[in-house]
């Protein structure tokens, strides 16, 4: 019986580090399995509770719009994580061959690349729309 509560505690501790609801749902499933074990129900019922409760929880959270499997690359354009998103830079000259420019931003020189839908490389004021590695992804301000 106690093993289910140890699994629940372990899942809860890991949940604190991950920030997803998946391990929290596994924790709830393990607690339900522990209660089933305390009630001396069959091991099959305990395992079923451990498996079914997280699955039902995911469906409920998805219906409520609270559960999203995030694209790990989505954070590169998330202005809540990256405060530089939306800031302006000035492009003096593009290297047409390599499709990049060097821009001054926050007192340092950065490599800037055009956004995927940015066809014609023009100089002037640009807006940062993402940061990939050490490169700013930019698009012109005021249309293309």
**Structure confidence by residue, pLDDT tens digits, 71-109:** 555 556 666 667 788 899 999 999 888 889 999 998 889
Domain identity same for 131 and 84:
yes
CA distances from residue 65 to 8, 46, 61, 62, 81 in whole angstroms, order as listed: 25, 29, 6, 5, 21
Q: Which two tokens stand for residue 11?
A: 């899942």
Identify the domain containing residue 58 by its residue range. 2-64
Computed over every residue of the chain, the mean pLDDT equals 86
- Per-residue pLDDT band for 142 (boundaries 50, 70, 90) equals confident
Domain identity same for 56 and 81:
no
Domain end, chosen from 27, 44, 64, is at 64
pTM value is 0.49
Domain identity same for 58 and 94:
no
Q: How many domains, the chain?
A: 2
- Please state the rounded mean pLDDT for residues 43-58: 95
- Please state the rounded mean pLDDT for residues 34-60: 95
In DSSP terms, 113 is beta-bridged to: 137
Domain identity same for 6 and 42:
yes
Domain identity same for 11 and 31:
yes
């Amino acid at each position: 019986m106690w093993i289910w509560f140890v699994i629940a505690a372990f899942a809860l501790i890991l949940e604190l580090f991950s920030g997803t609801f998946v391990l929290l749902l596994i924790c709830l499933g393990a607690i339900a399995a522990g209660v089933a074990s305390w009630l001396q129900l069959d091991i099959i019922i305990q395992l079923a509770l451990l498996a079914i409760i997280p699955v039902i929880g995911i469906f409920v959270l998805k219906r409520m719009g609270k559960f999203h499997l995030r694209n790990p690359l989505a954070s590169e354009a998330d202005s809540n994580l990256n405060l530089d998103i939306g800031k302006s830079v000035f492009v003096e000259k593009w290297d047409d061959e390599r499709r990049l420019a060097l821009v001054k931003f926050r007192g340092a020189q950065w490599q800037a690349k055009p956004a995927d839908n940015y066809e014609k490389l023009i100089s002037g004021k640009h807006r940062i729309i993402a940061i990939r590695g050490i490169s700013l992804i930019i698009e012109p301000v005021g249309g293309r």
